[in-house]
Structure 1
Amino acid sequence: MKKPFKNPFRHHRAKNRNKPRGYSPTQIICVSFVIVIALGTLLLSLPIASRYGRMRVIDAMFTATSATCVTGLVVRDTWTQFTAFGQAVILVLIQVGGLGLVTLTSFFALAMRRRMGFRDLRVLGESVSADGYAQAKDVLRIVVGLAALFEGIGILLLLFAFVPQFGPEGIWVSVFTAISAFCNAGFDLFGQFGAYSSLVPYVHNYYVQAVVMFMIIAGGLGFMVWVELIQYPKKRKLSLHARVVLIFSVLLWVGGAALIGLMEWNNPASMGGLSVSDKIMASLFQSVSTRTAGMNTIDLAACGPITKLLMSVLQFIGAAPGSTGGGVKVTTFAVLFLTIRSVAQGRDDCVIADHHIESKTVYRALTIIVIGALAAFGSAVVVYYNTSDAVSVIDAIFESCSAFGTVGLSVGVTARLKDGAKLLYMAVMFMGRVGPVSLAMSLTAKPDDNKRKIMPVGHINVG
């Protein structure tokens, strides 16, 4: 009697089927940020990093998280607390966080002509927001090239303002300010005029404000939008994505400036004592900076509660996808806003400029905003009930939206945080940098989650 034939590869295949798969690109990117934050914490904890002895580990970790997530919220003033070494560590964290560790390591790997496998390209494509893995390397070169170009321009322009004022130290101030502004980080070295002063001493200096605004916009528009703008004279065409980013960014900048100026025009504690031109410039600067840059030329703590609420919304929306900024992203807000408009017009789908938007894009936009809102307002509730009575509800909301949007603007709440609240804000900043949906997927997604399943149609009445 013949023995039944046994497939020698059967067991092997079954074994491989049960073998855990590798990490997803999103998980690798999240882990890379954690590694950078850990290294930054170690370096900022060293005595050589601080002017006044060794910094507490929790405060060093908060600073490292804020710098890596290009936020700008600080528990200690950067210039007052840190030595040149500590400031250099923060600047490196800002640069790595702004472009992403995966982006930088991939760039140096390509520069050394190391071959990248398919898995490397997948991670890189996720990091630089490339449409396909094939174009990931081209996008990488564009990202690093544009970053170097814009930062170089910003440093050069700021040298004319800071070198005459600070002498040789002005070179370092120009480098730090340009990179921080381009990466939408919000860190500054102007604490020598007074702790946490930011750009308030330059409220009458339109040149410095204009250069910093240019750097913020350059980093916040997104690299691929800049590529399309550079190629526009040849192609005479912009993609739907680029048009949505540009239109809604301008609307938010101009609309935000108009509302901030209107509400704070006669407030003597913020901009009431400024000239008309100073008020207009300060309003525009604050509107641009509130979209994740984290620098200010007026006293934000003295602003009215409605102004703080408006700024909280702008911070929550944030910059464009594929940029150095954070927030839920301007395109996410645009898709949700235009979906509401389409439904109000009796349409079944979201339509933008005669283009049908896929339902999965609408679902993702809604998910990002809901998760982001839960993170921002949930942390605001915790902070409000765990800090001193001096913190108002609107201040807690403002600071939490600043943390989630990786903005860095502060009305003084962060300086009062207890250790537990600092850990909470670190988690919120991390979520805001890597993206709420990306973080949720990296923690919960399973290999078979994306497989299509045939399910019965369910009917629910809404509205």
Structure 2
Amino acid sequence: MTERSQRLRAMARFRIALFNMPPAKLLLTGYVSYMLVGWMLLSLPVAQVEAVRAIDTLFIATSAVSTTGLVSVDPGGSFTFFGEVVILLLIQAGGLGYMTIGSFATLAIMGKLPGMRARATKHAFNLPDSIRPRQFIVSVVAFTLVVEVAGALALWALFAADGTPDALWMGIFHSVSAFCTAGFSLFPASFEGYEGHFALKLVLSVLSILGAMGFLIVVDGWRTLTGQARFLGFSSKVIVRMTLLFLAVGTLILFVVEPSLRGLSPEDRLMDAFFQTMTATTTVGFNTVPIGGIGGASLMVLFFLMVIGASPAGTGGGLKTTSFAALVGLVRSTLKGRDRVRYLKREVPPDRLQLATASLAYYFALAGAAMFLLLLTEAGAAFEVVMFEVISAMGTVGLSMGLTGGLSDLGKLVVVVLMTAGRVGILTFGIAVASHDESRAEEADNDLVL
């Protein structure tokens, strides 16, 4: 057998293995491959201002692809323009998603989606049967480009007016980072230096909310406007309701109880309370006030918002607003003695409840194990600081109480695993590494996307 024949046979075996790979494992493999490529590119001398350790380039690459925003070194001071471009591309790849980029490239080349890619795309975004994967992919890419370009232009104007150096590049980078809910900033202290800059915070908030609410809303809304559907789907209604509820309640609580905001004017106090609520619930991870100085009551609010996180089929992490809605319906129905679980007067199917409760259980199991390991590796860290770091990493939030920069090498590896799990999806990650039976995960339902 010739060497060429051996290569062809090996490639054929690889394609067969890829085609037969379960969707959860395919997603995990795809994201890990992006992280490894990013790690190699950021390790090149041309990407670094000064030598950056391998563990830190791996950490940054993983944080970018997972759209988390936790950083062990300052991206703006540690990497060259080439390195910053690599980070931006990794954020964009992670925000759009592994299946979106691959499927869009396949559509551009072949004009159609093969069965395997269509199934994996449907699994990655938990699409209901009423939305075709091809329609969804095209809508996602178009919407992303329009929003990010508009955001970059708005931020460019604001940065230029403020005298910020390299205003155009700053506008592009932070627009992509905000929409992809990555939370990466080229400023050493995020946006703490822009206290009182209402317009900047508003633009960043709009970009982050649009990304976090999910592409399902975009497709569903477009189908409603064009007459393809009479009303928004049940999932879209739940997403809008939960997002607005979390933003309103969180803002009110922080406005009232957070001591670090009391010295501000009422309008600035309200804006900062909203911004920190927004940054937690969308999992974007920007901050305008030092997180380490936030009061205990406010930390509890941020804990809750980060655990729930954003919405399905979007750029954010967390357990997802729809999973929380399903669990709320379960508790209410149990308290009222109902045999069937309902939310917004709609019955929640048993398989959706199973996924929601399994996600919650696996989330706390993984969080508990990670906290135990970090309390061992970071012996001097306070319990609440470690808990905040774990929840932030698993929710791909990117906020930190100051622990990230001082993590040990083992601690960084623990956080890398958490960020990867958060981007793939907590339950999907568990399925990919622990199970061969994905029959439940592959089922689609028209009632509620989780």
Q: TM-score, normalised by structure 2?
A: 0.89
Q: In 2, distance between residues paired with 1:441 and 1:59?
A: 28
Counterparts of 1:17-56 in structure 2 under 5 Å? 22-52=20-50, 54-56=51-53
Shift of 1:101: 2.3
Pick from 364, 369, 375 the counterpart of residue 373 of structure 1: 364
Question: Compared with structure 1, are the counterparts of its residues 413 and 227 closer, same or farther at alpha carbon in structure 2 (3 Å cutoff)?
Answer: same
Shift of 1:261: 1.7
- Using the TM superposition, name which of 288-297 and 346-355 deviates more: 346-355
Contact 1:91–1:176 (CA under 8 A) maintained in structure 2: yes
Pick from 307, 311, 316 the counterpart of residue 320 of structure 1: 311
Counterparts of 1:78-157 in structure 2 under 5 Å? 78-132=75-129, 135-157=132-154
Shift of 1:449: 6.3
Structure number having the greater helix percentage: 2
Pick from 357, 362, 369 the counterpart of residue 353 of structure 2: 362
2:284 pairs with 1:293 = yes
Q: In 1, distance between residues paired with 2:375 and 2:97?
A: 32
1:112 aligned counterpart, secondary structure: helix
Q: In 1, distance between residues paired with 2:320 and 2:40?
A: 31
Q: In 2, distance between residues paired with 1:183 and 1:344?
A: 38
- Could you give the per-residue CA deviations for residues 134-173 of structure 1, whole angstroms, max 9, x where no partner exists? 8111110011111111111111111210123346710000
- Aligned residues between the structures: 422
- Using the TM superposition, name which of 367-376 and 293-302 deviates more: 367-376
Shift of 1:71: 0.2
1:190 aligned counterpart, secondary structure: coil
Shift of 1:78: 1.4
Q: In 2, distance between residues paired with 1:341 and 1:303?
A: 33
Shift of 1:373: 1.8
Pick from 213, 230, 247 the counterpart of residue 241 of structure 2: 247
- Could you give the per-residue CA deviations for residues 223-262 of structure 1, whole angstroms, max 9, x where no partner exists? 1112333455565622111111111111111111111122
1:74 aligned counterpart, secondary structure: coil
- Could you give the per-residue CA deviations for residues 175-197 of structure 1, whole angstroms, max 9, x where no partner exists? 00000000000101122xxxxx1
Contact 1:309–1:394 (CA under 8 A) maintained in structure 2: no
Amino acid at match of 2:158: A
Q: 1:396 is matched with which residue?
A: 386
2:225 pairs with 1:227 = no
Counterparts of 1:406-425 in structure 2 under 5 Å? 406-425=396-415
Amino acid at match of 1:423: L
Structure showing greater Rg:
1
Q: In 2, distance between residues paired with 1:239 and 1:215?
A: 23
Q: In 1, distance between residues paired with 2:436 and 2:402?
A: 41
Q: In 2, distance between residues paired with 1:262 and 1:447?
A: 48
- Could you give the per-residue CA deviations for residues 428-459 of structure 1, whole angstroms, max 9, x where no partner exists? 111111112111222233359669xxxxxxxx
Question: Compared with structure 1, are the counterparts of its residues 388 and 445 closer, same or farther at alpha carbon in structure 2 (3 Å cutoff)?
Answer: closer
- Could you give the per-residue CA deviations for residues 335-355 of structure 1, whole angstroms, max 9, x where no partner exists? 101210111011122101221
Amino acid at match of 1:350: V
Contact 2:214–2:313 (CA under 8 A) maintained in structure 1: yes
Of structures 1 and 2, the one scoring higher in RCO (CA 8 A, sep 6+) is: 2
Q: Percent identity?
A: 31
2:67 pairs with 1:76 = no
Contact 1:78–1:189 (CA under 8 A) maintained in structure 2: yes
Amino acid at match of 2:77: T
Contact 1:121–1:133 (CA under 8 A) maintained in structure 2: no
Q: In 1, distance between residues paired with 2:41 and 2:278?
A: 32
2:171 pairs with 1:171 = no
Counterparts of 1:187-226 in structure 2 under 5 Å? 187-191=184-188, 197-226=189-218
Can you give the 5+ residue segments of structure 2 that lack an aligned partner in the other structure?
A: 1-15, 442-450
Contact 2:48–2:83 (CA under 8 A) maintained in structure 1: yes
Can you give the 5+ residue segments of structure 1 that lack an aligned partner in the other structure?
A: 1-18, 192-196, 452-463
Question: Compared with structure 1, are the counterparts of its residues 35 and 311 closer, same or farther at alpha carbon in structure 2 (3 Å cutoff)?
Answer: same
CA RMSD of aligned residues (A): 2.1
Contact 2:69–2:396 (CA under 8 A) maintained in structure 1: yes
2:74 pairs with 1:59 = no
Q: In 1, distance between residues paired with 2:437 and 2:425?
A: 20
